[in-house]
Amino acid sequence: MVLRIGGKNLSGASKRGELRAKFVFLITMLAFRFLRNVLHVNKRQTELLSRKSIKPVFIYPMRPFSLLNFPTSIPPTSKPVSLMNFSRYSTKTAPPPPPPPPADKNARGKAILNRISRIFTFSISSILVVGALGVAGLVVYLILSELFLPSGDTKTFNKAVKLIESNEQAQKALNFNPGERLRAYGEVPGDKWVRNRPVQSVRKKGADGKDHLLMRFHVESNSGKHASVVLEQIDTSFWSSEFAYIALELPSKHRMYIVEPKFSPNEYVPRSSGLGKSNGFLGLKWGPKKD
């Protein structure tokens, strides 16, 4: 078989040789183009990494070619194709971090002053808390001792009134029946506007070294009979006490003892300063002392 190309007659062997040569040339050009693109991309990436940011990298596609008419050079198209649509940042050429602030020359003094102020504040707060706890404890102790301890004024007052109510001589003198309650109150002030009638009491240390409580108050029955009560109580221990005497004074100046005294005759009732009758405002005598 004979093939005619370009005015020349070519046999089958010649045709195969020419096609083989063009195929080898095509493979060579493709390899060269591939190496050229690889080297171009590597060089472009190296340049972009040395900058502050990386710009999108573009590759240029090749024009289509035929096996029979392969051009010697392939010009790039006018519109590149983008492979990356984002930016990367490099720290190689990034600016250095800002320097630390200059050291304060008075930092040590400020730290010491801050510590001293904190210690002072803590000390003042601790003193206030301890003082408040002490005052609260004192108030609680006074309330409990007044209401529940045997030596308290309230406990002594109630115990003395119960002894008077159960005494037969007092029932006859004040004309009230057994089981009937008496009205007990303190000194009556001369001012009619004063509603408070406190019970007079004085606590002092006796010759025996024990605490003695002297108290004076008034009792009144439903029949209108009135009498004054004078008593003395001795604290034998912190939790116990006993009456030295309880005397009932009637308006007829007659005295009777609910509890007999162990140290004096029956006709004598010891009196203590401060337990006399007071007609002043709030139970006190105002003005200059009279001789």
pLDDT digits (tens, 9 = 90+) for 16-36: 777 878 888 888 888 877 777
Domains of the chain by range and CATH?
Answer: 2-89 (no CATH), 150-282 (3.10.450.320)
Least confident of 48-52, 157-161, 242-246: 48-52
**Residue 257's beta-bridge partner residues?**
247
Average pLDDT taken over every residue of the chain = 73
Question: How many Cα atoms occupy the beta-carbon half-sphere of 78 within 13 Å?
Answer: 0
Task: Tell me which of 191 and 174 has the higher pLDDT.
Answer: 174
What is the mean pLDDT of the segment spanning 159-179? 90
Label each residue of the chain as H, E or C. CEEEECCEEEEHHHHHHHHHHHHHHHHHHHHHHHHHHHHHHHHHHHHHHCCCEECCCEECCCCCCCCCCCCCCCCCCCCCEECCCCCEECCCCCCCCCCCCCCCCCHHHHHHHHHHHHHHHHHHHHHHHHHHHHHHHHHHHHHHHHHCCCCCHHHHHHHHHHHHHCCHHHHHHHCCCCCCCCEEECCCCCCCCCCCCCCEEEEEECCCCCEEEEEEEEEECCCCCEEEEEEEEEECCCCCEEEEEEEEECCCCCEEEEECCCCCCCCCCCCCCCCCCCCCHHHCCCCCCCC
Share of the chain above pLDDT 70, in %: 63
| pTM of the complete model | 0.47
* CA dihedral over 88, 90, 95, 97, signed as positive or negative: positive
Higher pLDDT, 67 or 196: 196
Most confident residue range from 81-90, 95-104, 214-223: 214-223
pLDDT of 3 above 50 = no
Q: Note the pLDDT of residue 272.
A: 44
Structure tokens of 19?
Answer: 């096609």
Please indicate whether residue 80 or residue 127 has the higher confidence score (pLDDT): 127
Are the C-beta atoms of 134 and 149 separated by less than 8 Å? no
- Which amino acid, one-letter code, is at 96? P
What is the spatial distance between Cα 201 and Cα 154, in angstroms, rounded to a whole number? 11
**pLDDT-based confidence at 224, cuts 50/70/90?**
confident
